[in-house]
Homo-oligomer: A and B are copies of this chain.
């Protein structure tokens, strides 16, 4: 039996948002590796070994997956959302580049419903026009670069989706992000805080930038800032297809 690695997106949380392609890969797998809460979503079964690991171990996890595939195992690396958006797919290719011995590995990336699309769908259509996706974690980039990108995204008239807005390790940074956005976009711009979308803990909350507070976000929150034309209709928030900004 030839081994392989699939990097699979589990979507935001609900089972009904997992693609059949991912479900099939999990059914064929001998081993599942990933961050502890994502591996916890996989039902145990005979013949499947689960390998949960801590969030900071992404390169070790990728190396373990490639090593097991070389031994003939069928390995699924699970990511939340989509594996190509601030998740494990890039970490796997970084590892592949650093370890040419694994160059011939059979690799597949299986897309998933990323958090911004799930959050947008629950809120209406705030990403209905051009938008950016920005990872606010500064683990892998300096805050100055985040600020630079926020300003260009704002001046380009983009809506924005923010991943990893806030953590205990950097509680003040998201306050600086909101200050920059208020400076660039004004107080009336709509901002959506979507927490744990599609899970029992789901909570959506939308306010103007003037009303936005850092504590409205945590690491389970996906934040979407509208563009200048984003508006409410009833309970919904949407961005028209025509550009006004």
Contacts and interface: CB of A to CB of B under 8 A. Distances in A.
Contact of A236 (B93, B112, B133): B93
A199 to B, nearest CB: 14
A128 B121 CA distance: 22
A19 B114 CA distance: 13
Contacts of A112: 113, 117
Interface residues of A, number: 72
Interface stretch (A148-156, A170-178, A188-196): A148-156
Interface string A16-37: 1111110010000000000000
A3 interface: no
A156 B144 CA distance: 11
A55 interface: no
Interface of A: 11, 14-21, 24, 58, 82-86, 89-94, 96-97, 103, 107, 109-114, 117-118, 120-122, 124-135, 140-142, 145, 148-149, 151-153, 155-158, 231, 233-234, 236, 238-243
